[in-house]
Amino acid sequence: AFLDSYKSPLSLIFIDDIERIIDYVPIGPRFSNTVLQTLLVLLKKIPPDDDRKLLVIGTTSCPELLGDLGITQAFAVSQEIPALELPEQIAEVLHVSSGMPKEEAMEIGRSITHPIGIKELLMVLEMASH
């Protein structure tokens, strides 16, 4: 993906669940150092041409781990996304991501009684639509 991205003037690479990519296991803790080092090299590499732009977005549920492994430092910005807690927040995600009517989305938002991550909410929405 990184090599292909250098061919386009503007590219986006989305790396979801970085800890899974490096085969992280909390018992031990263990991970694939080969994959980690490869990922670090790719993240730090600047596109070969000045007119090429590359945006890399990574996600994790273990930000402390990524900090300890040096991955966080390979990104220019680190942003924590808090769980959705308010019915209005949940309704907005449901409405925007699926086109669900606002009233229906709000009803679902009110029925969720515990904080929920956006990723989890979108996965549940996907499962419910099939």
Q: What's the one-letter identity of residue 123?
A: M
- Which sequence spans correspond to the domains of the chain? 2-74, 87-128
The angle subtended at Cα 125 by Cα 62 and Cα 59, nearest 5°, is 20
Find all residues with CB under 8 Å of 14, minimum gap 6, and list them. 56, 57, 58, 59
**Architecture label for domain 2-74:** 3-Layer(aba) Sandwich (3.40)
Question: pTM of the full predicted structure?
Answer: 0.76
Q: Which residue has the tokens 């669940």?
A: 17
From first to last of its 130 residues, what are the pLDDT tens digits of the chain?
A: 888 888 888 999 999 999 999 999 988 889 999 999 999 999 998 878 778 889 999 999 899 999 999 999 999 999 999 999 999 999 999 999 999 999 999 999 999 999 999 999 999 999 988 7
Query: 121 to each of 59, 60, 63, 112, how far by Cα in Å?
Result: 16, 16, 20, 10
